[in-house]
Amino acid sequence: MTDTTHIPTEEPEPVKTGMDIGDILKILPHRYPFLLIDRVIELERMKSIVALKNVTITEPFFQGHFPGKPIMPGVLIVEAIAQAGGLLLLTEVPNRDEMLMVFTGIEKARFRRPVVPGDQLRIEVVVKAWRTTAARLEGKAYVDGKVACEATVTCRLVPRTMNREGQLSEGSSSES
């Protein structure tokens, strides 16, 4: 019998399938009152994400939309879909502190039912196309198992130092 040494192979780090608000804040640049994701309950790397948004009467937009009949603005539901998708994509970007994921398009947006205080949005986003700097995502937001909103969004990864014309700002470098 020979004496052999077993060298264990290094196991890859497990992919986190859920995130709490602390994890989300480390990845998304959004902050109150514009952060529209409270928790991630499922995440399949580069494929899909399921996030939650608890809608409360204290949301600042309810003051004016609409007094006496509070309804979450549809554009903010689409933004929540985009934030969930951005969260999914930014988990794969090693230098995400230097980058922003910005909207480049919204297609096929449909609003099926109002979202009101006390509702919980379940936001499901699936990647349809993903390149290094751009993506197309299909998202649906549900309340009590019924579709409240659906939309296809496109986004692009840009340096945080980019100016309004899409150029890197003076004094910044495109090198990482």
Q: Per this entry, what is the length of the chain?
A: 176
> Starting at the edge strand that comes first in sequence, how are the strands of the sheet with 134-143 ordered?
39-44, 48-54, 120-130, 134-143, 146-159, 99-111
User: Is 30 among the residues known to form the active site?
Assistant: no
Looking at residue 82, what is its pLDDT?
97
Which residues in the chain come in under a pLDDT of 70?
1-16, 162, 165-176
Q: Which residue in the list 65, 136, 140, 156 is annotated as catalytic?
A: 65
> Residues 95-134: pLDDT tens digits?
989 999 999 999 999 999 999 999 999 999 999 999 988 9
Q: Distance between CA 117 and CA 129 in Å, rounded?
A: 34
Give SS3 for 73.
Answer: coil
